[in-house]
Structure 1
């Protein structure tokens, strides 16, 4: 199975109540990965784009860790989250992990899947030796992330690119 990273990094147990937590696999597009992300934000993409991005991420080992929760009774992805590793010069050339794109399918909410996704991602970050794990969230989600062991620190600011310029061909 072509997966983004080794499932050995995922915290045990990886299966409970017909839900399996594992690394994103190249076949997950057919299992509703794009549709699930659309419950979080604009995330509609064709299979060809999924495959292209999957390969780009896989070709950057030790950087991208996307986990999914699959309902093994329906073969559908019902939750996901991403951890990516930033290589730093500070902290003795340490690494910092960013947690992004946490979403649980609306039909599965209230089953602690979001908490379990975060626990698995925190385990990966700790296993990789990241000196900190950070995330940004909407104000309405702060209490959830505090339950997951995060605390408020600093202020987040964003600057969105309003004019996307096509990539130059190299």
Structure 2
């Protein structure tokens, strides 16, 4: 039986929830490819990891590990906002989607976004939203998102 490239890549790149040991597998360095993310101590990572773990399925971070290199090569998160509108509905917010520049083009970003979207739907969300740069609009459109309204931001630091 012949193995296809896509099934080989699926075996090499497994998606799962963030684990405490992922800091040592390049998780923070991957986030540094996305935005400002200083190095953090093992203690600070551990504290934040367990703080987020208390949220259960209301806030998850998923990663894709390259099992050949042992490195985290893609990540994203989703948190669930509870609303009063829409009959006390819920909205999923996707954040911090990043794919290592060395492995882009392998559909890993789409796998992350699909995983997070599926999780939001399973949690009973009536929609899932995200913010992105203008240059990333085509990617998210391929993932089934539509451009809607405008993002505003106010930084405090």
> Normalising to structure 1: TM-score of the pair?
0.84
| In structure 2, distance between residues paired with 1:109 and 1:60 | 30
User: By how many angstroms is 1:72 displaced?
Assistant: 0.9
Q: Which runs of 5 or more structure 2 residues have no equivalent in the other structure?
A: 1-6
- 1:39 maps to what in 2? 33
* Pairing 1:142–2:137 present: yes
The SS at the match of 1:68 is strand
- 1:161 maps to what in 2? 156
The SS at the match of 2:55 is coil
Measured against aligned partners, the alpha-carbon deviations of 1:23-74 in whole angstroms (never above 9, x if no partner) come to 0001110111000000001112222111111111111223211100001111
For the aligned residue pairs, the C-alpha RMSD in angstroms reads 1.4
The aligned runs of 1:12-161 (5 Å cut-off) are: 16-44=10-38, 45-161=40-156
| In structure 2, distance between residues paired with 1:35 and 1:48 | 17
User: By how many angstroms is 1:17 displaced?
Assistant: 3.9
| In structure 2, distance between residues paired with 1:132 and 1:101 | 18
The SS at the match of 1:49 is helix
The SS at the match of 2:140 is helix
Q: Which runs of 5 or more structure 1 residues have no equivalent in the other structure?
A: 1-12, 163-170
The SS at the match of 1:92 is helix
Q: Aligned pair count?
A: 149
| In structure 2, distance between residues paired with 1:48 and 1:132 | 35
After TM superposition, what 4+ stretches of structure 1 lie above 6 angstroms from structure 2? Answer: none
The SS at the match of 1:108 is coil
| In structure 2, distance between residues paired with 1:47 and 1:37 | 16
> Normalising to structure 2: TM-score of the pair?
0.91
